[in-house]
């Protein structure tokens, strides 16, 4: 990926003291290798290096509107599932990058078309999009797969997660871990309530990526819906339905070790 005409690398860091220190160190090392590190984000860069934790990675992706420039993360946070490079390994990372010793992986997203009585809005998530009640109210939702009615849900909410996000909120809520390259979406219930009126699946359901998931709030609850995209809250009045799909839009990430995913999984969770 590196060449003489295009050797710009963006460094995106959070404001954590350790992250800022790492950013300065990395900038110096990259400049010694004749890379250009701009003061502001450049759309002409060939690589985005994100320093921080997974939250910093997600914020960077959203802030820069899901760029086609690949990402790699240096972990100065806690979990760091997206942030795979440890600070002590940055020299090895730079050497591998210069020698093109990596592969570029595509990360699939989740899209929500939120339709109200007057308009529709697009939202994109890397990890998940969550439907919850405002002020922790119980929500009542009808869920359809490709226009086929699946369930009348009653509970705290529903998570619709990507494969990459399956190890995040989805996993903490009892959902399944899904390998990142699989083209699927996962529906995971949050504290489902079963009664004579509402029959909710107690576990997650995995849906093919070419299917459409539709969630419709009951009429009297349509202004009590909170939509949370990768931790960012959105509110819309008079929601009639929300359609979830796997969009054509994707992001890209460098992988320096084909076994990194499984090693990461074990080291973070076991």
Tokens of residue 106, six digits: 């595509």
Q: Could you tell me the sign of the dihedral formed by the alpha carbons of 76, 79, 80, 85, in that order?
A: positive
Active site residue 39: no
Q: Which residue has the tokens 């290096």?
A: 49
Residues 6+ apart with CB under 8 A from 83: 50, 52, 53, 54, 56, 57, 73, 74, 75, 76, 77
Q: How far is CA 214 from the centre of its chain?
A: 20
Looking only at the bridges linking them, the beta strands covering 239-245 and 110-116 are: antiparallel
Contact yes or no for 189/153 (Cβ under 8 A)? yes
- Which residue in 39, 44, 54, 156 is the catalytic one? 54
226-229, long-range: CB within 8 Å, 24+ apart, which pairs? 226/131, 226/132, 226/133, 226/134, 227/112, 227/114, 227/123, 227/129, 227/130, 227/131, 228/129, 228/130, 228/132, 229/112, 229/123, 229/124, 229/125, 229/128, 229/129, 229/130
Which of the residues are catalytic? 54
């Amino acid at each position: 990926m590196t060449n003489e005409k295009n050797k710009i690398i963006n460094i995106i860091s959070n404001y954590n003291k350790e992250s800022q220190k790492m950013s300065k160190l990395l900038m110096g090392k990259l400049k010694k290798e004749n890379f250009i590190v701009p003061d502001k984000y450049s759309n002409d860069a060939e690589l985005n290096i994100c320093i921080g934790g997974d939250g910093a990675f997600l914020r960077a992706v959203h802030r820069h509107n899901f760029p086609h420039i690949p990402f790699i993360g240096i972990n100065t946070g806690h979990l760091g599932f997206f942030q795979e490079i440890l600070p002590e390994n940055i020299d090895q990372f730079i050497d591998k990058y210069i020698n093109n010793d990596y592969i570029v992986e595509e990360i699939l997203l989740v899209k929500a078309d939120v339709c109200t009585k007057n308009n529709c809005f697009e939202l994109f998530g890397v990890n998940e999009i969550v439907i919850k009640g405002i002020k922790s109210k119980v929500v009542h939702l009808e869920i359809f797969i490709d226009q086929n009615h699946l369930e009348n849900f009653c509970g705290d909410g529903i998570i619709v997660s990507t494969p990459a996000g399956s190890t995040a909120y989805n996993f903490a809520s009892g959902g399944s871990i899904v390998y990142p390259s699989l083209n699927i979406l996962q529906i995971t219930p949050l504290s489902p309530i079963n009664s004579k009126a509402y029959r909710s699946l107690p576990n997650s359901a995995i849906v093919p990526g070419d299917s459409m998931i539709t969630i419709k709030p009951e009429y009297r609850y349509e202004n009590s819906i909170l939509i949370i995209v990768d931790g960012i809250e959105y509110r819309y009045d008079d929601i009639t339905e929300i359609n979830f799909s796997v969009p054509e839009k994707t992001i890209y990430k460098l992988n320096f070790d084909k076994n990194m995913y499984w090693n990461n999984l074990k080291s973070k969770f076991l």
